[in-house]
């Protein structure tokens, strides 16, 4: 089964709905593989992608989702996709990806029952 939440429903004002979607998803899983496609970020944050999103999801929202999934204790694998270094202005996209990884690592280390 595939479930998704469109980017138009993931704004800062939609954060409670987005978090509920993530909570419901996590409740239905034993293990999670999170793949973050950097194309979803705003072009100003992530210029180094081949197909920038026409709408996008703000970094604040993506960070909250990453932290929630990491803190759940169910996150087994995570990957960052769609970085094109040839297009990355000032390494902004690479830094955004690194920040998301940092968020997951630090959120996971504080999760109950994690080592």
Share of the chain above pLDDT 90, in %: 84
Q: What is the pLDDT of residue 112?
A: 54
pLDDT in the model for residue 1: 62
Residue 71 lies in a domain: yes
Model confidence pLDDT, tens digit, residues 70-81:
999 999 999 999
Q: With 0.75 as the threshold, say if the pTM is over it.
A: yes
CATH number for the domain including 38? 3.40.800.10
pLDDT reading at 115 higher than 90: no
Domain span holding position 48: 7-109
Residue 63, in any domain of the structure: yes
Residue 53, pLDDT score: 87
Asked if residue 2 is part of any domain, the answer here is: no
**Residue 59 pLDDT level (bands cut at 50, 70, 90):** very high
pLDDT for 26: 95
Position 54 in a domain: yes
List, as one string, the DSSP characters of the chain: ------GGG-SGGGHHHHHHHHHHHHHT-SSEEEEEEGGGS-TTT----SS--SS---HHHHHHHHHHHHHTT-EEEEEEE---GGG-GGGHHHHHHHHHHHHHHHHHHTSTT--
Q: Give the total number of structural domains in the chain.
A: 1
Query: Does any domain span residue 14?
Result: yes
């Amino acid at each position: 089964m595939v479930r998704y939440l469109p980017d138009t429903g993931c704004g800062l004002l939609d954060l409670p709905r987005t978090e509920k979607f993530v909570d419901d998803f996590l409740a239905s899983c034993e293990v999670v593989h999170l793949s973050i496609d950097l194309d979803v970020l705003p072009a100003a944050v992530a210029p180094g992608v081949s197909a920038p999103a026409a709408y996008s999801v703000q970094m604040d929202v993506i960070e909250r989702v990453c932290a929630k999934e990491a803190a759940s204790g169910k996150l087994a694998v995570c990957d960052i996709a769609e970085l094109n270094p040839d297009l990355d202005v000032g390494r902004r996209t690479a830094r955004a990806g690194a920040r998301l990884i940092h968020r997951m690592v630090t959120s996971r280390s504080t999760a109950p029952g994690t080592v």
